Structure 1
């Protein structure tokens, strides 16, 4: 988000933390996240309503009054507070407004994680994304059109129940059933990035022919932290085809020091 939306996002995040999440337990936070995702689904399916609520010329009191009428019997008072906070802010577009609500849903869900250890959720989302990429039949089952959302959620529960943090299971369920125009992989990556933002660090996707040792990971993490001026979380993917070396991606920047990458570069130069 940029401009006025970025300012508004910072304000609704501050209010979420100080006015709502400070007074709910883990179970309440997980329930709140689910309610906010339901509101996102409602607004995503109602184009005219979404545009009216995002219109800066519409009085904030009118927006919150309508939201109260629509949602009072469907969500908790805490969810109404968060929705009201979002609607009272100005947004550059209706999409930014709904994105902000989705982000509040993610943040509320993450508030349920024991001890605030978000690294585990990041790792679980990344591993599930890699599993989906490596198993076309699983991906097909999770993305098949016309399958009821309840059926897909049941499949996700069967796959993940008792194996991952409940917050991870919720986020995977959202990525599968309500990707909002993203592919499944894009939705999982998007949620992973939001987890990283909430944890206040960057994510480096490391591809290596062999799993780096703990000492090597520590050195790489320290070097990247110095380079980018922020804590770095490593998501490591073992790719034997790389032969040796490492490929590191942080955001849009890729550092390729693999043997396969060097060979490809030599071939390009010879061909050119």
Structure 2
């Protein structure tokens, strides 16, 4: 988001934090997702509610009339705060509401002591989708009714994953909003990790890490970056010696293949 929208998001987050504490967090997440989806579908409504020239009181009244009695008090107050803010572009309004839906689902998981589970499950499901073309097509095909895709998702994750994980994946599957399935899972994974102000590191190794190895690596990364780091470890038989760690745009490559490639680049230069 650009400067104006970043300021608006901070304002809406402040209101969200003030009203979310007494809400059913799972229901709040679903309701914020539903409002974001409504704004995505109704372009005229989105333009009206994000129009900076329109009086704030008028926009607040419109959203109250639309949502009152259909969503809980916390979702309604968050939506009113969102339409009252000034956004750099109309799409940022829906983006912000979806983002806060992810925050609500993350808070639900944290309250249940399952935030780590959600991070791990989003990552693992993303890897399953990336390696299974038929599954990816089935979940991403917008010609297939959303309910059918949700049914497939329930058969895959129902009873096997945290409720918040199912909620988040369902939002991406039903409403991709221009994202690939893998891209949406990565985006939501980063937002979930941010609830503890943690970075996410994707570690690739030919063999699984022991708990002690993961602890030592996380400790070293925390000292290097000054923040806690959540490790998503991917076992890849193609990795030859050592391991690699990617955090955002940073790559730490200790593999033999990585070293050979670095030598090649230097020789070529």
TM band (smaller chain): over 0.9
Q: How many positions carry a matched residue from both structures?
A: 268
Deviation per CA, 1:54-101, whole angstroms, max 9, x where unpaired?
122211111111111222243223321110111122222212221110
For the residues of structure 2 that align with 1:137 and 1:29, how far apart are their CA atoms? 33
Partner of 1:199: 196
Deviation per CA, 1:219-254, whole angstroms, max 9, x where unpaired?
211121122111111111111101111111111111
| 2:252 is equivalent to residue 255 of structure 1 | yes
Is the CA contact 1:118–1:199 (under 8 Å) kept in the aligned structure 2?
no
Is the CA contact 1:246–1:256 (under 8 Å) kept in the aligned structure 2?
yes
For the residues of structure 2 that align with 1:105 and 1:116, how far apart are their CA atoms? 18
| 2:138 is equivalent to residue 145 of structure 1 | no
Picking from 22, 31, 38, the partner of 2:34 is 38
Partner of 2:13: 13
Partner of 2:105: 109
Identify which range, 110-119 or 199-208, moves more after superposition: 110-119
State the 1:116 CA deviation. 4.7
Is the CA contact 1:29–1:111 (under 8 Å) kept in the aligned structure 2?
yes
Identify which range, 230-239 or 1-10, moves more after superposition: 1-10
| 2:19 is equivalent to residue 23 of structure 1 | no
Q: Give TM-score, length-normalised by structure 1.
A: 0.93
Partner of 2:118: 121
For the residues of structure 2 that align with 1:142 and 1:43, how far apart are their CA atoms? 23
What CA RMSD, in Å, does the superposition of the two structures yield over aligned residues? Answer: 1.6
| 2:183 is equivalent to residue 186 of structure 1 | yes
Is the CA contact 1:241–1:260 (under 8 Å) kept in the aligned structure 2?
no
- What are structure 1's unaligned runs of at least 5 residues? none
Partner of 1:77: 73
State the 1:259 CA deviation. 1.4
Secondary structure of the residue aligned to 2:244 is strand
Picking from 83, 91, 98, the partner of 1:95 is 91
State the 1:188 CA deviation. 0.6
